[in-house]
Chain A
């Protein structure tokens, strides 16, 4: 009896381990999402986790190649934009079908666009197309021809289609029927999302093999970066999409082959002062924040090199403008990049009527300069930066307090009550084209953070920025647009409504089991080419599960 039991147990265990090894060889890519995907509907995608899933499941007409930053044909083989910029015509690939077999025609594109532009949808992807008043018209003269007409020309129109994942008009599965390399097979809230290979994916490699190579992708939902790192080290994960600078260094020290620094990213950390007349602040404070010399002096007093060196362990570069140097086309290399200069800052301040006596900076009325900067809680790097800036400013006699708040309170202060002195936040740039930031630069814009929703421009320079932004939005000439936006960046550098601090490097980790990974700075950094990635089982990884 006992012997029989032991034998059955042994057989069972053997079968289990064989199954495990077999499952490994079925090739699955495993990595983590840092939050819960809020939706699988491509039109409503707004958070990072959902966007990552959309990237891998959505089929798009035009794909922006993350590596070359150039546009490639996707579901559309070619496209033409009319001279006046109002109309775009797409020629679609023939004979394609969705993941569940439903055929793909221009009707699906029309359905997707109409759905996206539906005012009730409130889709941010859709709103990006809204260049003017009036409805967007979509015509399907043939099953492989789509004509979309906009009420006003849309700057950077083609790039926007990279975000539009085509949804089936007829499939019973609705948004779950996809044209991308993978489809969502399983979703367990709080735990993981399992993506399965789409057998009907249209792309083939040079040898004619159908893509993607990897059978399935398992996305674990893991908020804790330490646990993610631990699991990566143990071989449970194949890549980490964004690493902290300190984690990167520790990992690099142990295993330099797995860490990849893709270069300077597009994101910037920015600092701005409240210039809104509706702010419940004392008048003398408002006066400080409106004084250009004050803002420039603060910018000069901040030691950006130290921030890069200490908070980001050297994996960041000082930033002086809204566009990162990695955004090759739009970056203005002619912008001034002044080094840390407390003496220069004090000279500027004295010019503006401030006095520096006994280590305290006072304005012309004798008020000591003191203000509070607000940042979001839970972001360790930002809290560290704020603490370091605190010390930098104390050297020119400014007392800065740091307060961390949860996001809802932050937004309340930023957009409703304007009850704050200064903010320190990150600017997340997913789009290379500055046109998507219109509401930030227009003085009437709601994202014009330092003084939103102005009825008329409060200052001459804001009026000039308004003019330039309107001009660049209405022309299709890329060179002209660049010249105009370069001038905007120049004005911003002179007036410093935003004090740009650093551009962080994009740090990823890729397991040696992954073949073909080439991390880049554009989102999604490590798995932008997921369809051509391969996973090979490593001898030492086979035992881990």
Chain B
């Protein structure tokens, strides 16, 4: 096996392990993520608390496990939403051409010029999130998904445009296929790999954006843990020096994003 394949398999297995740990968080640790051990705040790792506790006495391992669930399960959902939107509009732009193509492309270009974080912040400020933390999490990721499509759109559009001018599509149309059938039987299967590549590439991007948002205090609300939430504790340098295991969410985050990158690098997906 080539070095690349080894790396890919390794990354893939690591990712599966982390996702599994997140989904099975309940069996990994028998503490809930919000149970406060008031006799032991800011504890260093021990047999009872393998990673120590935070300032309120909550078990860090439990928070890390449940936080993995939030970050790693909702990021793909946001990526799915973004990819579907990009797929829809990119497909229409590429296949239909004409003014719809121009319109969609200029909208995408304009959206690309908007820095994602500015728009996210503006949207979040518009909606008073006075709902439960769970709904706030879902809303954050839905917003991410709804705003993350421009980057993927160009790629999908390019692929769709190539398809439009391709020979076999011409053949299909010449032989009298209905547009619906063309869409279903010819376009979709060809666009699928492109869409999947975009989906895959968006996931780490959304994980990172959520982390930054939460560290700014605009993401997932307490007491629900997420990687970004847990990273907020890093702002207190002396606490980190006292318990270096507080860096574990960062290590996990970096590791997971690197794995995603190793499986399918972003710039490969863009060309």
Contact = CB atoms under 8 A, between A and B. Distances in A.
Answer yes or no: are A and B bound together in one complex. Answer: yes
Interface of A: 226, 230, 246, 250, 306, 309-311, 374, 377-378, 383-384, 387-388, 390-391, 401-406, 409, 413
A410 to B, nearest CB: 9
Residue from A226, A230, A309, A404 with most neighbouring chain B CB atoms (10 Å): A404
Contact of B56 (A250, A374, A384, A402): A384
Given A310-B56, A384-B55, A406-B128, 10 more contacts: A226-B237, A246-B239, A310-B57, A383-B222, A387-B223, A402-B222, A402-B223, A405-B129, A406-B125, A409-B130
A246 B55 CA distance: 9
A53 B38 CA distance: 41
25 contacts: A226-B237, A230-B237, A246-B239, A250-B239, A306-B38, A309-B38, A310-B56, A310-B57, A378-B217, A383-B222, A384-B55, A387-B34, A387-B223, A388-B36, A388-B38, A390-B34, A390-B223, A391-B34, A391-B36, A401-B132, A402-B222, A403-B132, A404-B221, A406-B125, A406-B128
Given A310-B41, A404-B222, A405-B130, A387 B217 contact: no
Given A310-B57, A388-B56, A390-B223, A374 B239 contact: no
Interface string B39-82: 00100000000000001110000000000000000000000000
B236 interface: yes
B235 interface: yes
Contacts of B41: 310
B243 to A, nearest CB: 13
The SS class assigned to the A binding surface is helix
Given A246-B55, A403-B130, A310 B235 contact: no
A486 B129 CA distance: 41
A401 B129 CA distance: 14
Contacts of A405: 128-130
Nearest to A224: B235
Contacts of A306: 38
Question: Considering residues B36, B41, B238, which has the most beta carbons from chain A within 10 angstroms of its beta carbon?
Answer: B238
A227 B41 CA distance: 24
Contacts of B57: 310
A406 B236 CA distance: 23
Contacts of A401: 132
Interface residues of B, number: 23
Contacts of B130: 374, 403, 405, 409, 413
A268 to B, nearest CB: 21
Given A250-B238, A378-B217, A387 B222 contact: yes
B221 A403 contact: yes
B238 A310 contact: no
B236 A246 contact: yes
A513 B56 CA distance: 36
Contacts of B56: 310-311, 384, 387-388
Nearest to A249: B238
B128 A387 contact: no
Contacts of B34: 387, 390-391
Given A310-B57, A405-B130, A226 B236 contact: yes
A383 B129 CA distance: 16
Nearest to A305: B38
Contacts of B222: 383, 387, 402, 404
Contacts of B128: 405-406, 409
A377 B239 contact: no
Nearest to B124: A406
Nearest to B58: A387
A401 B128 CA distance: 17
Nearest to B235: A226
Contacts of A413: 130
Contacts of B223: 387, 390, 402
Nearest to A386: B222
A383 B56 CA distance: 11
A250 B235 CA distance: 14
4 A-B pairs with the lowest CB-CB distances in the bound complex, closest first = A250-B238, A409-B128, A310-B41, A391-B36
Interface in B131-179: 131-132
A492 B37 CA distance: 33
A387 B222 CA distance: 8
Nearest to A244: B236
A192 B210 CA distance: 33
A250 B130 CA distance: 35
Nearest to A230: B237
A505 B41 CA distance: 20
Contacts of B239: 246, 250
Nearest to B41: A310
A171 to B, nearest CB: 42
Contacts of B55: 246, 310, 384
B57 to A, nearest CB: 7
Interface string B217-230: 10001110000000
B36 A387 contact: yes
A322 to B, nearest CB: 27
Contacts of B221: 403-404
Nearest to B125: A406
Contacts of A230: 237
A390 B55 CA distance: 16
Interface in B230-245: 235-239
A403 B55 CA distance: 20
B217 A377 contact: yes
A378 B222 CA distance: 11
Contacts of A378: 217
A409 B128 CA distance: 7
B67 to A, nearest CB: 15
